[in-house]
Amino acid sequence: MKKPDGKVVLLGDMNVGKTSLLHRYMERRFQDTVSTVGGAFYLKQWGPYNISIWDTAGREQFHGLGSMYCRGAAAVILTYDVNSLQSLVELEDKFLALTDSASADCIFAIVGNKVDLSDDCASPPDENRPEKAVAGCSSKVRKQVRVEDAIALYKKILKYKMLDEKDVPAAEKMCFETSAKTGYKVDYLFETVFDMVVPIIVRQKAEGPPQTVDITDYKPAKRTKSGCCA
């Protein structure tokens, strides 16, 4: 078996569409999935590198495994369902802590899936208010989660990780809205993430295998810490 050079992990509540996203990207298809048990992974050749992509189980029962899956990860894709505010809340409440074991320079992406279900008539943020929601496109429902909410979460994550906004990719760049069903922005999501993962792989290779990182001198944030007054 080829040994992967880097790892990308998909986290998020059950049913938000993690397996479907991965399936769409790897197999170019959308089909009904069965609830993921434990976890599954794919190997993706990206340039000269093999990137393993882990699909995790959203079920509460398997949350405990997340930490192990995230260990040494170069990127974590936090996934929610744009039609479920709860799924975004869960990311912060339940899943963020699991990423503590990820690589120190791990990048984060926040993905709102299932945009095909809601009307995505691009409307300026201030207009996107509940009182105006009546004028929606017929069968579709109003999105429950706005991109701005995801961006806010992204910034919270940076705080949590004690990372400086200047040192990491911009929030606008790392918050995606996708549809595994239509394929909308799915390739874009994974390709953007992979492109960002490559420099991390290169750095990890230069520093020696990440597996041998000595956890005693493991510093969660190598970059300048933010939020500290001089």
Ligand X SMILES: Nc1nc2c(ncn2[C@@H]2O[C@H](COP(=O)(O)OP(=O)(O)O)[C@@H](O)[C@H]2O)c(=O)[nH]1
Binding residues for other proteins (CB under 8 A): 1, 3-4, 7, 37-41, 54, 59, 61-62, 64-65, 67-69, 71-72, 101, 211-212, 214-216
Q: What type of residue sits at position 33?
A: T
Residue 58 phi/psi, 5-degree rounding, is -80, -15
Nearest residue (CB) to other proteins, 38 versus 47? 38
Task: Let me know if 195 is exposed, middle or buried by CB neighbors in 10 A (0-12, 13-18, 19+).
Answer: exposed
**Under the rule (CB under 6 A), what is the footprint of ligand X?**
12, 14-20, 32-33, 35-36, 58, 113-114, 116-117, 179-181
The structure tokens listed for 73 are 């990860």
Q: Which residues contact 209 (CB under 8 A, 6 or more apart)?
A: none
19 binds Mg ion (CB under 5 A): yes
Nearest residue (CB) to ligand X, 111 versus 200? 111
Secondary structure class of 184 (helix, strand, coil): coil
Nearest residue (CB) to ligand X, 20 versus 192? 20
Least Å from the CB of residue 64 to other proteins: 4
56 binds Mg ion (CB under 5 A): no
Whole-number Å distance between alpha carbons of 82 and 70: 24
Whole-number Å distance between alpha carbons of 63 and 163: 25
Residue 211 contact partner, candidates ligand X, Mg ion, other proteins, none, CB within 5 to 8 A by sort of partner: other proteins
Closest CA to 161 of 91, 89, 220: 220
Nearest residue (CB) to ligand X, 14 versus 163? 14
Nearest residue (CB) to other proteins, 8 versus 171? 8
Least Å from the CB of residue 22 to Mg ion: 8
